[in-house]
Amino acid sequence: MPSGLDSKLLRVRVSVATLCVLAASAGYGQGAPSSAEELFNEQMKPVITEHCNGCHTFGGHSGGLRMDSYATLMQGGDDGPVIIPGDADSSMLMNAIRYKDENLQMPPKGQLSDADAAIVAKWIKAIGQVSPAGTSPTVSPSAPLTPAHSSTPSEATPAMVKAADAAIRPVSTQVAFEQNQFFEMKVRPILIKNCYGCHAGSARGGLELTSRDKMLKGGKDGVVAIPGHPESSLLVSAIRYTDDKLMMPPGGPMKKEDVAVIEQWLRDGAPWPKMVTASDRSHITAADRNFWSFHAPVRPMVPVVQGNWAYNDIDRFILAKLEQKHLRPVRDADKRTLIRRVTYDVTGLPPTPMEVNAFLADKSPQAYERLVDRLLASPAYGERWGRMWLDVVRYADTSGGGGDYPVKQAYKYRDYIITSFNQDKPYDRFIREQIAGDLLPYKTEPEHWQNIVATGYVAGAVRADEAWTSDAVDNLGSAYLGLTVGCARCHDHKFDPIPTSDYYALKGIFDSTHFPDPGSDNSRMQTGFVVRDEARAESQQYTVFRAQLKPIVDAINAVQRLPGTYDDLMPQLQARRMNLLAHAPPELESAYAVSDGRPQNALIFKHGDPTDLGDEVPRGFLQVLGGGPLPANTKGSGRLELANWIASKDNPLTARVIVNRLWQGHFGRGIVVTANDFGTRGIPPSNQALLDYLAWQLMDNGWSLKTIQREILLSHAYRLSTAGSADNEAIDPDDDFVWRHRQQRLDAEEIRDSLLADSGTLDRSPGGPHPFPPQSQWNWEEQNPFAPNLSKYENNHRTVYMMVQRSVRHPYLTLFDGADPGASTELRSSSLTPLQALYFMNGDFPRKCADVLTPKLFTEEASQETAIRRAFLLIYARPVSAPELKESMEFLRKAAAVYTAHGASATAAQAKSEEGFLQAMFSSNEFMFIE
């Protein structure tokens, strides 16, 4: 790192540290005097309203700074406090409005008048005087780094500057998240155990250690903790027992490792996560709700940015953040890279050489826009993005319960998802159909039937442990709300304000819902599926059949309930069942879907144990998100009400969670990295204003996902290259703020689909149903589950149509990190393993595709050179370079010679070498990664 930059960074860091110390010593914060607040309302409000409006008020929070109220202003922003009471010259705000710091000039559109600036300066000065001098500031602004209680301040100073460098370095959200975990797992327990006896409620020595503010404020002896400087913090010398004037805790020294934890924590800047402290969560308090994601998004003002880098508003949010973090976007991706990237992103398929050439040839300014529109209109879009949703709802073609019974109707829900994406079904409508489609009004029977099929979402809950309603609640929380509601199944959620009663309020809704039985150890046949033609189901043919089946089923159930095992009787009964099913009348059209059952409230399972029942909980929705019990006039299960509550603009999470999934799909990383956890233990958004903007865009555009995706794809941010930048990496190693594009490994579907597409064998038609055995052959049980011969299920349709078992992961999908069919997958991993390399070297499928492709490229009339050129355009979407051509020709010649030497005919030798060449291209990194 160049030393100039280093020292500059250092300066910034030290100044932030200074502000922190000052903030602590001046004693403002939560306990600030109302007079200062009054002065704020009186003097500052008008100035702020005029000049800062939009970016820092009414929900705007550029740089993390809100200026709506005295309290939020004093909290400061991402870079720390902006006001130092009494000291206008040192206040970041003052310097910003005076345009003193070239990196921070506010407001960006033009400097304040001298009169207005004077008002601000006067106010800062004034609050220094009204601020209570509880403890007179022991740290003076002129010597901010001199620790109050270091016995040798002059020696401490150089060390502290170094420590400041380490402590206040910019951290990524990942690191912040880790620090929070560290606090909860390590630091807080130590404080509670060793310090809270005297420094929690009773504040011995004037010191309370129950919040960061209180700790920083110090006690009678002044400042005790200086973030970033454990070696100068009184707190540390006290617990180290090195200062005989003050040794804490008084009963004897803490464990050495605990001391080390506290030191580490202070060195990290003493991060203290906001904690939900309620122990009894039956009621949600205002404090519980005091978390960003539990408040409805406020439409943020679009930041004003300079220059012409920004193509659209998304870019303005991105750029404002980049500028604030002193990051510079890298150069743009070239056109070839861009078409390959956007084609994979939108359709999951590689662009054809023709598509690439057409795009390159189109020199008009609208070329890219037209490309995006063409891709979004392609049916392949639904196959790609429908898969994203299938990941989230843990789609599978089998039940996951005992026997892992195949659900031959499940594909209808899968196809419904794909179609919905292709139709750009409004997301709120999409939610209503999946949760309560059967209860929605309809105009035509086909519409009604599609709505019923959509409830395959609910029916598809994992059947294991007889706990499908619990799984339905868990997935509902993760998929739509981005909350780990499932944690509240056995106890109040440990971190988020979700009481167990809220969990069972939701569960009651599913308990009041009739689920189909896909077959299990006991029943071994489908029952309770929704039949399309109910009248026909009541015709004589079917009633007679059911009457024949009933006694056998009853007998089976009776035997099941008998104590002991009946190894002789049961197989006979099952054989009779299978025999009868073999002569069943033609199967009626049916769906793996739900209907309303008897309305009932759930009883709490204490500690999650279904045999240990607690109180009955009225059905309802999550309180922390503004939900309550079902309306009194609710007639049915409450599913429709639940669907409406989720699919609402008033729900703080619904829109945010889905736009974040879209963002993640296009950038490889969400604005909230934990896409299924927007709760207090998730990682907070890297750019909340952008997230909220997107959420509002979605809602204001009729919940159209394609509209948002189009805006994302047309942004400048999306079109950046993957180029590195040492300067940026030093500040934002994880690319949280999108200064470049992320290189991505192809996912499991993309690999297989690309091999099929490149070899010209991809069947673009929908996959349809799977060739499962008929019910008359169903006889699986827990210990002997459905174990299909996978080769019978193979086809050349896109991978989204592959048969996916829930209990046994598909080997191909497992190899390349496919989705988990047993639990919601928020983000695929991208492992790189030798087993994957073996797949490309020796596996049948890549070779088969190479074999099929060979005669298509290496045609009779074309020279080998021409064929190689074609191959590069096809597989890499670029022309071959001279050295590559030479090496490839060389390979073909040598390989053919080896084959000939082993007795192959000239023709066969040539063909085999060509196949090997294409296989090598498929195996290469350029095929495997998207830039």
Partner 1 sequence: MSTTRRGFVRSLLSASMLMPAMLQQLLAEGTSSAGQNPLAPRPPMFPAKAKRVIFLFMSGGVSHVDTFDWKPKLLADHGKRYKDDYLHAPQWNFHRYAKCDTMVSELFPHVGAMMDDICLINSMRCDIPNHSQAVMQLHGGSAAQPRPSIGSWVSYGLGTYNQNLPSYIVLAPEIPYGGSEAWDSSFLPAMYQGVRVIPGREAIPNVTPRDLPEIQQMDLGLIEFFNRRNLTEHDGDAALAARIKTFETAYGMQMQSPEVFDITKESDATLALYGIDRSTKKGFGWQCLMARRLAERGVRFVEVIDGGSDKYTNWDSHLDMKMHGPLAKKVDQPIAALLKDLKLRGMLDDTLVVFTTEFGRKPGDSAPNEAGRTHQSAVYSSWLAGGGIKGGIVYGKSDDYAYEVASDVCDVHDLQATILNQLGIDHTKLTFRHAGRDFRLTDVSGHVIKAIQA
Minimum CB–partner distance for residue 787 and partner 1 (Å): 13
Instruction: Output 97 or 261, the one with its CB closest to partner 1.
Output: 261
Task: State the nearest-atom distance from the C-beta of 681 to partner 1, in Å.
Answer: 8
CB nearer partner 1, residue 349 or residue 815: 815
Looking at beta carbons only, is 126 or 867 nearer to partner 1? 867
Q: Which of residues 259 and 372 has its CB atom nearest to partner 1 in the complex?
A: 259
Smallest gap from Cβ 860 to partner 1, in A, equals: 24
Work out how close the CB of 806 gets to partner 1 at its nearest, in angstroms, rounded to a whole number. 12
Closer Cβ to partner 1, 1 or 354, answer by number: 1
The Cα–Cα gap between 295 and 285 comes to 13
The answer, yes or no, to whether the previous bond of 249 is cis (omega within 30 of 0) is: yes
DSSP string, 270-332: ---------S-TTS--HHHH-SGGGSPPP-PPPPP--SS--SSHHHHHHHHHHHHTT----PB
- Identify the H or E element spanning 833: none
* Of the candidates 234, 216, 231, the residue with the CA atom closest to the CA atom of residue 264: 231
- Per DSSP bridges, beta strands 602-605 and 530-531 are unpaired
Q: In 3-state terms, what secondary structure has residue 557?
A: helix
DSSP class of residue 881 equals P
With 0-12 / 13-18 / 19 or more C-beta atoms within 10 angstroms meaning exposed / middle / buried, residue 464 is: middle
How far, in Å, are 270, 274, 567, 641, 660 from residue 183 at the CA level?
A: 9, 11, 57, 40, 27
Select 164 or 418, whichever has its Cβ closest to partner 1. 164
Cα 436 to the center of its chain, rounded Å: 25
Closest contact distance (angstroms) between CB of 904 and partner 1 is 10
Residue 531 pairs in a beta bridge with 590
Q: How far is the CB of 898 from partner 1 (least distance, A)?
A: 5
Alpha helices, DSSP H only, in 196-280? Answer: 196-199, 212-217, 234-240, 256-267
Among residues 365 and 903, whose Cβ is nearest to partner 1? 903
Q: Shortest gap between Cβ of 170 and partner 1 (angstroms)?
A: 8
Q: How far is the CB of 190 from partner 1 (least distance, A)?
A: 11
The CA-atom distances, in angstroms, between 545 and each of 409, 531, 537, 550, 774 are 21, 16, 10, 9, 17
Closer to partner 1 by CB, 253 or 822: give it: 822
3-state secondary structure of 705: helix
Cβ proximity to partner 1, 796 vs 830, nearer residue:
830
> Which residues of the shown chain bind partner 1 in the complex (CB under 8 A)?
169-172, 174-175, 177-178, 181-182, 185-186, 257, 260-261, 264, 612, 722, 724, 726, 729, 733-734, 743, 745, 782, 809, 811, 815, 820, 829-839, 841-843, 847, 881, 883-884, 887-888, 891, 894-895, 898-899, 902, 916-917, 919-921, 923-926, 928-929
Shortest distance, position 906 Cβ to partner 1, whole Å? 16
Nearest approach, Cβ of 177 to partner 1 (angstroms)?
A: 8
Contact 743, 722 (CB under 8 A): yes
Q: Which residues of 282-313 are buried (b: 16+ CB within 10 A; e: fewer)?
A: eebeeebbebbbbebbebbbbbebeeebbeeb
Helices (H) and strands (E) in the chain, counts: 41, 8
* CB of 772 or CB of 927, closer to partner 1: 927
Residues 106, 108: Cα–Cα separation, whole Å: 5
Shortest approach of partner 1 to residue 270 CB, angstroms? 15
- Comparison of 331 and 546: residue with beta carbon closer to partner 1: 331
- If the CB atoms of residues 385 and 839 are measured against partner 1, the closer one turns out to be 839
Find out whether 433 and 646 touch, Cβ atoms under 8 Å: no
What's 232's DSSP letter? G
Min dist. Cβ of residue 349 to partner 1 (A): 21
